[in-house]
Chains A and B, each alone.
Chain A
Amino acid sequence: MPATRILQKLEFTRELPTVPVVLTRLLRYMEKPLDQVDVHQIVNLILQDKSLAGHCLQVANSPLFGSSDENEVVTIQASVMAVGVSRIQQIAASCSLLRLMPTISFGLNPAVFWAHSLGCAVVSREFAAQIGYPEPAKAYAAGLLHDIGVIALLWVSPQDFRRCFEEASRNRIPLYEAEHRVFGITHCESGKIIAQNWRLSEDITDVIVGHHSPEIVQSRSVLTSIISVSDLLCRIGGLGYGYSEDRQTDFREETAFTILAAKYPALRPFDLARFTFETEGLIEEVRAVVSQVYGAH
């Protein structure tokens, strides 16, 4: 299917995934300073959806979260006490995405895709915090949603997507390269349509559009670059799309890293090796949480 046809289909189809209501509201809350957040509102929002609440508890209680059997939380209220309001919003936003996951695999396993999104969110937040970016929570949200365009492609053209995914995993190349060959566009373009459709903020839209080419996002390239670096670290660390890309990466040659190094002096002597090892630890934890959530499905 030619690129224009795909884009048209994305623009006009009524079958596009609709934004989970919970996610829209959470993203709005997440932009507020913490002291202006009404905890009850968030708790009620989560409680409106039983399956969401269940998933949130699972994630908040995951053994990797450090909770042992004796301090397991059984209510959303208690989990807010245990992990804090900011983290419960992040957990809920992540779990609200579960609803969008296709129930059958089109090459790409839904659990693998969710793990990549969640992993990228967590790594982006940690990376943002370490380099001194003032809004790590925004980095989390952007990391979570950066690949939403993959879902869009999968949705409008499942058979082509399967072909594209198979090509990528067979040749061990990044997914966007295969998308470009098969569709003529990538998940960055399809993601843009979703982002506009869902009325996501400009920051997050930029990340969705530019995480594979942060130079195209002029004004807000910092957040995009943070997610770009984190996305790459996740893919290298084994939390990509279920296959490893057989490549060697020198981060100092990556555009995203260059953009960040110019903005954040902390990055010039940044211990990327150490952050990579930290990321490996995070990835293992994310994997365990994901297998718990999906195992219980």
Chain B
Amino acid sequence: MPAMMASPSFLRATGSTGNERCEPLIKIRDLIYKTAGIFQADNKLQLLERHCNKRMKALGVPTLRDYYGCLTVNSMHQAEMVSLLNEITVGETFFFRNRPQLDAIRKIVLPTIIDAKSRSKTGQSALRIWCAGCSTGEEPFTLSMMLLDDPQGTLKGCSIEIIATDINERSIAHAKVGCYDDHSTRNLEPHFRNKYFSISGDKLQVTPAVQANVSFSRLNLLDDSRMLFPKGIDLILCCNVLIYFDAVSKKRVIQHFYRNLSPHGYLLLGHSESLFGISQDFRLVHMPSATGYVKSEKGAADSPS
């Protein structure tokens, strides 16, 4: 394998061999971040190159430089970006996919929300969580069973409502059934597998208790009239969805999310996704190995501290 890979960000040699060949790859990485808002760190460049190679083979394009052209100047460049993003996100979902994010939800996000709710006049009420772009249901069910489990008693008896939406009718139909193959359940710990699933042939079926907290419906995030409905949401998870939207649509969706959220609400995106340049209505917060966005009062968010 030629010395193409990630010129090591760590202790990177200046002017080392291979840097010239790396340049189109870096440009592609930066283009993806600029248009989709998802970032590939230096140590993931080799992987990104593999994804590009796959697309280049499909298109019959010889070099990365030419492929960069496909992503920028060709008439089909938007469609090609979507194809590349599909490669990057692998277009799949599975149970307990992003553990640092789940830990952050359990240990920091929910306790903070519950604390804020108990201080507010309305007192404690149901926790409302929205999985926007839930695909076939693994993410909302993961949350549902994690919250049912609640070994530390974080939820203090709060009731939980998980709203799960997706644009794809077939995905929603699959989610409503709640039956999953090995691929989806490969990351499940035995504890969760035994407690929250029953065996159904060669598949696993989520139990009614897990399903009871989750309601599925079809929703297009760009449907302005329907986006006005959800109110008082405490936490929105929207992972690997906004990356497919152009900047204008992204801004529109984020504005809706802002209004959908309760005053201390959180918005969590997929791994390495960012709102930079899209919205200043949210505060970026760091939690162990995870980032999130907290709704902040209008006007305050923007001040350069």
Contact = CB atoms under 8 A, between A and B. Distances in A.
A210 to B, nearest CB: 19
Interface stretch (B12-20, B84-92, B162-170, B182-190): B12-20
B43 A64 contact: yes
A284 B43 contact: yes
B299 interface: no
B286 interface: yes
B7 interface: yes
A246 interface: yes
B305 A253 contact: yes
Contacts of B5: 66
Contacts of A59: 11
B287 A278 contact: no
A87 B274 contact: no
B11 A90 contact: yes
B8 A65 contact: yes
A276 B10 contact: no
B76 interface: no
Interface in A233-255: 233, 236-238, 244-253
Interface of A: 59-60, 62, 64-68, 71, 82-84, 87, 90-91, 122, 126, 233, 236-238, 244-253, 257-258, 261, 268, 271-274, 276-278, 280-282, 284-286, 289
B107 interface: yes
Nearest to A240: B288
Contact of B42 (A237, A248, A250, A278): A278
7 contacts: A59-B11, A68-B3, A236-B289, A252-B284, A280-B272, A282-B9, A285-B8
B304 A91 contact: no
Given A68-B3, A82-B16, A246-B108, A280 B289 contact: yes
Contacts of A280: 41, 272, 289
Contacts of B72: none
Nearest to A94: B11
A274 B10 CA distance: 16
Contacts of B39: 273-274, 277-278
Dominant secondary structure at the A interface: helix
Contact of A87 (B7, B11, B108, B294): B11
B97 interface: no
Given A87-B13, A238-B289, 8 more contacts: A68-B3, A84-B14, A126-B9, A248-B292, A251-B286, A271-B274, A278-B41, A282-B42
Nearest to B39: A277
Contacts, number: 128
B284 A248 contact: no
A249 B285 contact: yes
Contacts of B42: 278, 281-282, 285
Nearest to A289: B10
A250 B283 CA distance: 7
Contacts of B44: 281
A248 B14 CA distance: 36
Contacts of A268: 304
Nearest to B1: A68
B41 A261 contact: no
B291 interface: yes
Nearest to A278: B41
B287 A236 contact: yes
Contact of B13 (A83, A252, A261, A278): A83
Given A246-B107, A284-B43, A278 B288 contact: no
B108 A248 contact: yes
Contact of A244 (B7, B17, B288): B288
A273 B43 contact: no
A280 B42 CA distance: 10
A238 B288 contact: yes
A272 B283 CA distance: 11
A129 to B, nearest CB: 11
Given A122-B10, A274-B276, A285-B10, A66 B288 contact: no
Contacts of A244: 288-289
A65 B11 contact: yes
